[in-house]
Amino acid sequence: MLVIRPIKQSDFSALFEMAKESGVGFTSLPVDEPLLYDKIAHSLRSFAPEAQPERYFLMVAEDTETGQVVGTTAIDSAVGLSNPFYTYHLGKVVHASRSLNVYNVVETLTLGNDYTGVTELCTLFLREAFRCGNNGRLLSKCRFLMLAEHGVHFNPLVIAEMRGVSDDQGRSPFWQWLQEHFFSVDFPTADHLTGVGRKEFIAELMPKHPIYVNLLSKAAQAVIGKVHPKTIPALKLLEAEGFLNRGYVDIFDAGPTVECQLAHIKSVQQSQRLTVVIGDVIGGDERLLSNTDLAQFRACVDKVNLNLKRNEVTLTAATAKALRVSDGEPIRLVALR
């Protein structure tokens, strides 16, 4: 069984290995030891009761049979407050002349910080060998149970940055155009600098005025708002939850940023808070489950017996142990699909 839990200091080695496996373009998990130590420390402070408003909840997926850490998932409660959170917004400008009978609509990309302060779903990574069954859904959707149970700690608007198109060598067609005209820095370098928090070069070198999309290379234009092939399942899952692209894209690879009001996320709306009964589960319905303790958050997928008339859910003793809950305590649950 995979169980989601808050990261610990002892998980550093596994986190570092996953950072290396994630590759170029995965900005929130850079291959940088000091920064990864900082991320763990920030998360440990965030799960503490006296935590400050800028909270970063970094969790891992642990295989309970082997103790192996096989994935990560996180929620950043408020982006852009300490370091700028940049996006491009895809807009339109009309060039028209009635006397010449000319009417042209031109798309533009405008740099901005419109998402400052919103909550971000981030740092979702699952090791290749475990990309099967419901593991991906567990990593992604467990965050919705945390949002539903502890919404007071999060912004009413929730976003997720989707990894954009790049090749096996980490080359982004979109960045190649920016590099040629403005930056003279390759995509892996720019991606790494952003990942380690050195974002000042963006303000220093990024064009200050809107970019006319039709001036970009054809290859760059073709990937605006598109996701990396490995990111398609994650995007489809979020879209099924109600997330939409409002025209915001990443400034490096032009991958889409999707958003949804926290209260409108389907798994948040449809989740239920039921009382635990520990016993034998006969047949059962498969559900995504979490406890209601933020500091000791646990989530997993298992079969349960529901008794909605009594507002109860029957768990096996093993599942209750994994979730750290006892008879009579509440848990939150939701259907996987």
Beta carbons of 120 and 158 less than 8 angstroms apart = yes
181 CB-near residues (< 8 Å, 6+ apart): none
SS3 state of residue 91: strand
Q: Whole-angstrom Cα distance, residue 135 to residue 126? A: 8
From the list 34, 37, 15, the residue with the least C-alpha distance to 26 is 15
Residue ranges with strand state E in the chain: 2-6, 56-63, 69-76, 87-97, 102-112, 119-126, 157-161, 211-212, 244-249, 256-261, 272-278, 285-291, 299-307, 312-315, 330-334
What is the rounded CA–CA span in Å between residue 224 and residue 164? 8
Active site residue 228: yes
Write out the catalytic residue numbers.
228
